[in-house]
């Protein structure tokens, strides 16, 4: 699994392809928390149960990806989601997430792993490797692989151009244990998310030196250790071919070959319809159908200005509902394709309304608190998800999805009277029952930044606009292309409200911390927000994340995360809305594929049901 770095680009694209003044002392009065409801019914993952014995041996699978990855090393800056997908088939991950995002040992690589109990120093992790596990050149796994990867990812040697995932910098030493299959890792301070380390693991030859590490990991002949090996790598032709690994020691791979084909989203339904694809992610194809088919990405009169307010032309031929209507038509077309099933689930991602606390009037904590109370999260989730056939399940946590252990809705109990009181006390008065509030001659009017061309984002924006208008807050949606959504707006602070998604994972204490970390001055004295695009944070929230990251007791760690989430709500940083939808088209007869949610494909099980024909004789070309 790619070490999850919460980069700015990932934040925007998660939604677009469907991702200061407020210190501890100036927090708005905390509204009373709502009664804790039962978690909403929601499914993160949609893969039909199957019996491996019913999958026949042989055949080819044709799998759509965005592009041939520039590297298979997920720790390099050029890595993409497609890099991670292929790495799951080619490289060992000692732990993999289950359907609820909990890390579990993968027995193909790891017989057992244990950490010293809470309270004992130093923390020592003992890995017992599968003695049958070998690299594709026949070399057994060893402590040398762990040592080299730690050197590449721990940070001190800047010659390594790595993403430096959390945890590696805490490692003091690595050594062989009682025999070559045992590896002991010593940490200089407790690290709760230790199971995220060495997943994936690369051979020492590719990580031991900066020169070797920095080279793009592409092409055939690479040393791997999964059920498949690279049999072909053709960036110009848009194809990566995986064939069975002859030294694989686990359950034999069912399919002879998997062709990963670079297929633009707008061509994927045609590829399924014309029997040129067997597995195809469809979220972007559906969500951006209005743009991909030629409709205007700004197909709404209220969405035509840029974030700064400068008018941009909107094609007159594009009706206001063009983007959502195009998305519904594309989904219906997908559902009607003969011999294809559309799997749908809530993706492991957290879509939120982010408030720019550095921008007037949101510098006032009371205004942010009122805005958070004014949002009807169930109404928003219904508008975004119901048209896609998903349950309208709102989120109540900034850190956990609804089916993760410890999930709790920490959102305050919404009451229009509380919204009115907070805004009245902040000086924003409503001239009439249905008018926009004003203060010192200025309207309480805000822009809402959304990715251009996203039907889900546009439906969300329309519902938010209606929601906040009921409280006297005028909202005007504005759009920005996905390519500039982050760097030109979120990163620079050129926005007031924004809808975006963050990836959710097994380790929120370390993975989500950058989103909420208090901005601090850089060496030049300029406030550095990092990926905290709300520009609101406190020392207390930072400490809660740090304590959770070092807490080895699961219950105590979850309690700290709940407290951190409550403080984020009180700060008025952002409002959780829903989990991003995930749609995947799968050809009938393909077993073991769908929308995986938190889980990963078990590549050795995916194949054709007994009696089904695979397309060996009709290779695809894009």
Query: What is d(CA 541, CA 516) in angstroms, rounded to the nearest whole number?
Result: 8
What number is the average pLDDT over the span 562-588?
Answer: 97
Give pLDDT tens digits for 427-442: 999 988 889 999 999 9
DSSP string, 128-141: EE-TT-B-TTSPBP
Cα separations in angstroms, 465 against 218, 323, 335, 345, 500 = 47, 17, 31, 26, 16
Cα separations in angstroms, 16 against 273, 329, 516 = 25, 19, 22
Q: How many residues does the chain have?
A: 622
65 in helix, strand or coil?
strand
229 secondary structure, DSSP code: E
Give pLDDT tens digits for 74-131: 999 999 999 999 999 999 999 999 989 999 999 999 999 999 999 899 999 999 999 9
Q: Which residue has the higher pLDDT, 299 or 403?
A: 403
pLDDT category of residue 293 using cuts at 50, 70 and 90: low
Residue 380 has pLDDT above 90, yes or no: yes
Q: Nearest Cα to 174, choosing from 154, 196, 199?
A: 154
444 in helix, strand or coil?
coil
Give pLDDT tens digits for 443-483: 999 999 999 999 999 999 999 999 999 999 999 999 999 88
350, 366 Cβ separation under 8 angstroms: no
**Exposed e or buried b for every residue in 207-238, given b needs 16+ CB within 10 A?**
bbbbebbeeebbeeebbbbbbbbbeebeeeeb
86, 72 Cβ separation under 8 angstroms: yes
End-to-end CA separation in angstroms for the chain:
28
Share of the chain above pLDDT 70, in %: 86
Which pLDDT does position 577 carry in this prediction? 97
Which pLDDT does position 313 carry in this prediction? 26
Residue 399 has pLDDT above 70, yes or no: yes
217, 87 Cβ separation under 8 angstroms: no
pLDDT category of residue 322 using cuts at 50, 70 and 90: confident
What number is the average pLDDT over the span 325-335?
Answer: 93
SS (H, E, C) 337-403: CCCEEEEEEECCEEEEEEECCCCCCCCCHHHHHHHHHHCCHHHHHHHHHHHHCCCCCCCCCCCCCCC
Rounded to 5, what percent of the chain is helix, strand, coil?
A: 30, 20, 50
pLDDT category of residue 32 using cuts at 50, 70 and 90: very low
Helices then strands, counting H and E runs in the chain, come out as 17, 24
Residue 310 has pLDDT above 50, yes or no: no
What number is the average pLDDT over the span 154-169?
Answer: 91
Residue 176 has pLDDT above 90, yes or no: yes
Which residues, in sequence order, are bridge partners of residue 467?
Answer: none
Q: Nearest Cα to 14, choosing from 394, 283, 277, 360?
A: 283
Please provide the average confidence, as pLDDT, over all residues in the chain: 87
Residue 21 has pLDDT above 70, yes or no: no
Query: What is d(CA 98, CA 88) in angstroms, rounded to the nearest whole number?
Result: 14
Residue 586 has pLDDT above 70, yes or no: yes
DSSP string, 80-108: -HHHHHHHHHHS--SEEE-TTS-EEE-TT
Which pLDDT does position 323 carry in this prediction? 80
CA dihedral 376, 378, 379, 385 (to 10 degrees): 140
Q: Within its chain, how far is the Cα of 66 from the centroid? A: 16
Q: Nearest Cα to 250, choosing from 108, 62, 422?
A: 108
Residue 308 has pLDDT above 90, yes or no: no
Residue 12 has pLDDT above 90, yes or no: no
Tokens, residue 275? 């029997």
Helix 455-469 vs helix 8-16: crossing angle, to nearest 10: 90
Which pLDDT does position 119 carry in this prediction? 87
Cα separations in angstroms, 261 against 237, 278, 427 = 9, 11, 58
Which residues, in sequence order, are bridge partners of residue 480?
Answer: 451
pLDDT category of residue 294 using cuts at 50, 70 and 90: low
Residue 16 has pLDDT above 50, yes or no: no
- Pairing mode of beta strands 171-176, 123-129: unpaired
Q: Within its chain, how far is the Cα of 593 from the centroid? A: 19
Which pLDDT does position 309 carry in this prediction? 31
Which pLDDT does position 613 carry in this prediction? 61
DSSP string, 251-320: SPPSSSEEEEEE--GGGHHHHHHTTS-SEEE-HHHHHTHHHHTT--TT-SGGG-B-TTS-B----TTS-T
Cα separations in angstroms, 498 against 200, 366, 457 = 33, 19, 10
Task: Enumerate domains of the chain plus CATH numbers.
Answer: 10-26+344-581 (3.10.105.10), 91-215 (3.90.76.10)
Which pLDDT does position 1 carry in this prediction? 38
Tokens, residue 102? 């909990």
Residue 305 has pLDDT above 60, yes or no: no
481, 450 Cβ separation under 8 angstroms: no
Q: Which long-range contacts (CB under 8 A, 24 or more apart) does 65-69 make?
A: 65/240, 65/260, 65/261, 65/262, 65/263, 66/262, 66/264, 66/265, 67/238, 67/262, 68/233, 68/234, 68/235, 68/238, 68/239, 68/240, 68/260, 68/262, 69/218, 69/240
Share of the chain above pLDDT 90, in %: 77
Q: Which residue has the higher pLDDT, 292 or 275?
A: 275
What number of other Cβ atoms are within 10 A of residue 521's Cβ? 9
Alpha helices of 486-596 — where are they, by DSSP H? 508-511, 513-516, 539-549, 554-571
Tokens, residue 572? 């008025």
Residue 401 has pLDDT above 50, yes or no: yes
Query: What is d(CA 597, CA 619) in angstroms, rounded to the nearest whole number?
Result: 29
Q: What is the pTM assigned to this prediction?
A: 0.87
pLDDT category of residue 321 using cuts at 50, 70 and 90: low
Which pLDDT does position 601 carry in this prediction? 94
Burial class (CB in 10 A: 0-12, 13-18, 19+), 317: exposed
Query: What is d(CA 547, CA 24) in angstroms, rounded to the nearest whole number?
Result: 18
**Exposed e or buried b for every residue in 279-316, given b needs 16+ CB within 10 A?**
bbbbbbbbbbbbbbeebbbbbbebbbbbbeeeeeebee
Tokens, residue 380? 């928003």
Query: What is d(CA 437, CA 468) in angstroms, rounded to the nearest whole number?
Result: 11
pLDDT category of residue 527 using cuts at 50, 70 and 90: confident
Helix 455-469 vs helix 377-385: crossing angle, to nearest 10: 150
53 secondary structure, DSSP code: G
Give pLDDT tens digits for 489-512: 999 999 999 999 999 989 999 999
Q: Nearest Cα to 339, choosing from 274, 261, 255, 284?
A: 274
609 in helix, strand or coil?
strand
């Amino acid at each position: 699994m790619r070490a999850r770095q919460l980069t700015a680009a990932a934040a925007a694209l998660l939604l677009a392809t469907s991702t200061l003044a407020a210190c501890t002392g100036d927090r708005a009065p905390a509204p009373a928390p709502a009664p804790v409801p039962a978690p909403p019914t929601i499914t993160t993952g949609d893969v039909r149960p199957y019996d491996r014995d019913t999958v026949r041996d042989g055949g080819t699978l044709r799998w759509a990806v965005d592009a041939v990855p520039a590297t298979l090393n997920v720790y390099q800056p050029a890595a993409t989601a497609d890099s991670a997908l292929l790495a799951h088939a080619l490289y060992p991950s000692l732990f993999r997430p289950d359907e609820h995002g909990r890390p579990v040992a993968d027995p193909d690589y790891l017989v057992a792993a244990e950490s010293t109990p809470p309270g004992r120093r130093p923390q020592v992790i003992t890995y017992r490797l599968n003695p049958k596990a070998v690299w594709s050149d026949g070399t057994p796994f060893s402590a040398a692989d762990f040592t080299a990867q730690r050197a590449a990812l721990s940070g001190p040697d800047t010659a390594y151009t790595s993403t430096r995932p959390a945890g590696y910098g805490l490692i003091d030493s690595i050594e062989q244990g009682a025999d070559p299959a045992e590896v002991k890792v010593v940490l200089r301070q407790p690290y709760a998310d230790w199971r995220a380390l060495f997943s994936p693991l690369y051979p020492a030859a590719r990580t031991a030196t900066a020169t070797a590490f920095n080279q793009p990991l592409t092409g055939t002949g690479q040393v791997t250790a999964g059920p498949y090996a690279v049999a072909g790598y053709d960036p110009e032709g848009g194809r990566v071919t995986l064939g069975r690994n002859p030294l694989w020691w686990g359950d034999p791979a069912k399919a002879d070959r998997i062709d990963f084909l670079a297929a633009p989203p707008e061509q994927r339904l045609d590829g399924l319809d014309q029997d040129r694809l067997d597995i195809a992610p469809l979220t972007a194809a559906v969500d951006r159908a209005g743009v991909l088919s030629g409709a205007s990405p700004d197909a709404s009169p209220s969405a035509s200005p840029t974030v700064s307010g400068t008018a941009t032309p909107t094609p007159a031929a594009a009706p206001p509902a063009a983007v959502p209507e195009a998305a519904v038509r594309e989904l219906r077309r997908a559902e009607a394709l003969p011999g294809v099933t559309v799997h749908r689930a809530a993706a492991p991602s957290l879509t939120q309304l982010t408030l720019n606390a550095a921008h007037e009037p949101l510098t006032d904590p009371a205004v942010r608190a009122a805005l958070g109370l004014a949002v009807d999260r169930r109404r928003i989730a219904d508008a975004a998800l119901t048209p896609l056939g998903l349950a309208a399940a709102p989120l109540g946590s900034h850190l956990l999805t609804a089916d993760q252990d410890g999930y709790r809705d920490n959102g305050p109990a919404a009451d229009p009277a509380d919204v009115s009181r907070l805004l009245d006390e902040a000086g924003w008065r409503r001239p009439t029952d249905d008018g926009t509030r004003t203060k010192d001659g200025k309207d309480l009017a805000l822009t809402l930044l959304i990715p251009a061309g996203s039907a889900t984002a546009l439906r969300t924006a329309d519902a938010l606009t209606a929601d906040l208008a009921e409280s006297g807050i005028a909202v005007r949606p504005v759009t920005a292309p996905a390519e500039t959504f982050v760097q030109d707006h979120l990163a620079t602070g050129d926005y007031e409200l924004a809808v975006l998604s963050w990836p959710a994972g097994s380790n929120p204490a370390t993975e989500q911390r950058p989103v909420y970390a208090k901005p601090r001055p850089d060496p030049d004295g300029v406030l550095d927000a990092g990926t905290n695009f709300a520009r609101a944070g406190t020392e207390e929230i930072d400490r809660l994340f740090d304590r959770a990251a070092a807490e080895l007791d699961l219950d105590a760690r979850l309690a700290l995360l709940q407290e951190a989430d409550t403080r984020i709500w009180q700060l008025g940083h952002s409002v959780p809305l829903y989990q991003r939808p995930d749609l995947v088209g799968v050809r009938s007869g393909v077993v073991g594929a769908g929308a995986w949610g938190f889980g990963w494909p078990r590549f050795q099980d995916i194949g054709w049901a007994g009696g089904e024909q695979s397309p060996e004789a009709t290779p695809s070309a894009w």
